[in-house]
């Protein structure tokens, strides 16, 4: 095992030096998306799953209502984000489980629905930094987040950067 260490050590040092040297020539996208979500969204379509949860997300009701025209605080937020990356939003409505499943499978780019930092979906979706802190019915502060695909870090960082710039009050 000593010999193993003797080999692994210098090898790691080389990789480290190489990466340190490479840092100067970082790719334009850093962190990058393994599946290229941000690149695909830019100038294209942002697919957003909406779980109805007023006032964060509301689906229109009534006979002539169009389920593809949701409203709410988070709907406005995502519309704004789409504008910054020059994308057109495609809305999809459904249950949490279904939409998070679609997010995991790469069929959606974001899921919104008044999620908080304590969401149980954190193993299935990347939870963004909270964009607002709002007291719930019991008066406890709730940190509101939206869900992004796992490990699509360029997209996650772009989304978080936008969300952190917004002033949102519940």
Q: Which residues bind other proteins (CB under 8 A)?
A: 1, 5, 8-9, 12-13, 15-16, 19, 27, 29-34, 122, 126-129, 148-154, 156-157, 160-161, 164
Least distance CB 133 / other proteins (angstroms): 13
Least distance CB 15 / other proteins (angstroms): 5
What is the Cα–Cα distance from 96 to 116, expressed in whole angstroms? 13
Least distance CB 156 / other proteins (angstroms): 5
Q: Which is nearer to other proteins, 79 or 122 (CB)?
A: 122
Q: Are 110 and 99 in contact (CB under 8 A)?
A: no
Residues 148, 170, 94: CA angle, nearest 5 degrees: 40
Least distance CB 102 / other proteins (angstroms): 16
Q: Are 163 and 126 in contact (CB under 8 A)?
A: no
Q: Which is nearer to other proteins, 59 or 100 (CB)?
A: 100
Angle between helices 153-165 and 73-84 (to 10 degrees): 120
What is the Cα–Cα distance from 150 to 94, expressed in whole angstroms? 20
Q: Which is nearer to other proteins, 46 or 148 (CB)?
A: 148
144: phi then psi, degrees, rounded to nearest 5: -90, 140
Q: Which is nearer to other proteins, 16 or 68 (CB)?
A: 16
Instruction: Indicate the pairing of strand 88-93 with strand 45-50.
Output: parallel
Q: Which is nearer to other proteins, 99 or 147 (CB)?
A: 147
140: phi then psi, degrees, rounded to nearest 5: -80, 140
Least distance CB 160 / other proteins (angstroms): 4
């Amino acid at each position: 095992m000593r010999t193993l260490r003797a080999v692994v050590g210098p090898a790691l040092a080389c990789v480290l030096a190489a990466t340190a040297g490479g840092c100067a020539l970082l790719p334009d996208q850093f962190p990058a998306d393994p599946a290229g979500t941000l690149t695909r969204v830019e100038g294209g379509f942002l697919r957003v799953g909406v779980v109805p949860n007023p006032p964060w997300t509301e689906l229109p009701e009534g006979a002539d209502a169009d389920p593809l025209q949701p409203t709410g605080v988070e709907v406005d937020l995502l519309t704004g984000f789409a504008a910054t990356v020059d994308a057109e939003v495609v809305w999809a409505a459904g249950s949490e489980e279904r939409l998070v499943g679609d997010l995991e499978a790469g069929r959606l780019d974001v899921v919104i629905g008044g999620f908080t930092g304590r969401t149980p979906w954190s193993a299935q979706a990347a939870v963004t930094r909270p964009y607002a802190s709002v007291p719930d019915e019991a008066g406890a502060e709730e940190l509101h987040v939206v869900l992004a695909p796992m490990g699509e870090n360029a997209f996650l960082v772009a989304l978080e950067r936008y969300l952190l710039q917004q002033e949102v009050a519940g």
